[in-house]
Amino acid sequence: MLVLGIETSCDETAASVVRDAKVLSQEVSSSVHLHSDYGGVVPEIASRFHTEYIYPVVRKAIDDAGVKKGEIELVAVTSGPGLPGSLLVGLSFAKAVSLALGVPIIGVNHLKAHMISCFIRPLFEIDDKFPFVGMVASGGHTGLYRCDGLDKWESIGRTRDDAVGEAFDKVAKIMGLGYPGGPRVEKRANRYKGTSPIDFPRAMLKGDKGLDFSFSGIKTAVLYYWKGCDKSESEIDRICYSFQKAVTEIIVEKLRRAMVFSGCRRLAVGGGVVENAAIRSGIEDMCEKNGYIFFLPSRKLCGDNAVMVAALGEALFLRGVRSDLTLNVSAVMN
């Protein structure tokens, strides 16, 4: 099938054209520069940006794919979770395209799409990968799932407070590093060459704390440490390294526990935070040590993108899943 994917769940306006799970085009326009002064995403700004840019982004994706709009056979669109205003822009546009071209529309879950992004190589082969433990680690979400099929996803762990990407953003804001925080913290962490990292807390790891996460405490620990330190460039590097090290250890240990709990031997981790080299390396080392098979998306598919939306939409449609023009958005996981 020739599928047009549309993604507008947060601050990226994305479109992609995929044929039989082969990526023909990928276009992303980000409003991150508009949010930098606020240290995080402002929902109203994000939705206005989507409204302004969604047509040229979709138009470019179709042109870059070298196809005509009349050849599109399916429109796949993110219907949740995400910012309601942003989601509505993408869904409304997708419905208009579906109606104008006379082709079906299918709603895609944003979090499931992130996990599915691990299996685009570029051919989409997923059925023989189940069951697996899936994780989404991003600016807005941190969760663990047992995945037994495209329509069989069970939540087994989640964050109790901040998402992991949100914690990166807040730590960067504390030190005045700018937004988005993830790449800025990672860059400064890579500069640290010392041997005495700060022992920031690893919440919910001691004893039997289950599979949930908590990142609020480590963020607060960084804040209090920052208030009393000398704020030199070398100290900023040390803080970033120490914070990143602690977060990596939390994620890796929770993943290990999830594998033991679920009995699965396969692991798939998606989301923008997985672009972090230290976290990727930690996941790889843990899996290799324990004999687990692991899947990580390419770095260009870690962040919000429409390739994963189109690919999952196609897979669902071919398995009989259907949506219609009554499709609505959902701000939460369902």
Q: 326 lies in a domain?
A: no
Sheet with 132-137: list strands edge to edge.
152-158, 142-149, 132-137, 266-270, 293-295
Task: Name the DSSP class of 119.
Answer: G
Same domain, 272 and 179: yes
pLDDT band at 271 (very low <50, low <70, confident <90, very high): very high
332: pLDDT strictly greater than 90: no
Same domain, 262 and 284: yes
Same domain, 171 and 262: yes
Same domain, 98 and 175: no
Q: What is the number of structural domains in the chain?
A: 2
Same domain, 147 and 234: yes
Q: 261 lies in a domain?
A: yes
125: pLDDT strictly greater than 80: no
Same domain, 306 and 272: no
Instruction: Say which amino acid occupies 198.
Output: I
**pLDDT tens-digit profile of 80-121?**
999 999 999 999 999 999 999 999 999 999 999 999 999 986
pTM: predicted TM-score of the whole model, two decimal places: 0.94
Q: 57 lies in a domain?
A: yes
CB atoms within 10 A of CB 33: 10
Give which of 240, 211, 213 is closest to 225, Cα–Cα. 240
Residue range(s) defining the domain that contains residue 75? 2-118+301-318
122: pLDDT strictly greater than 80: no
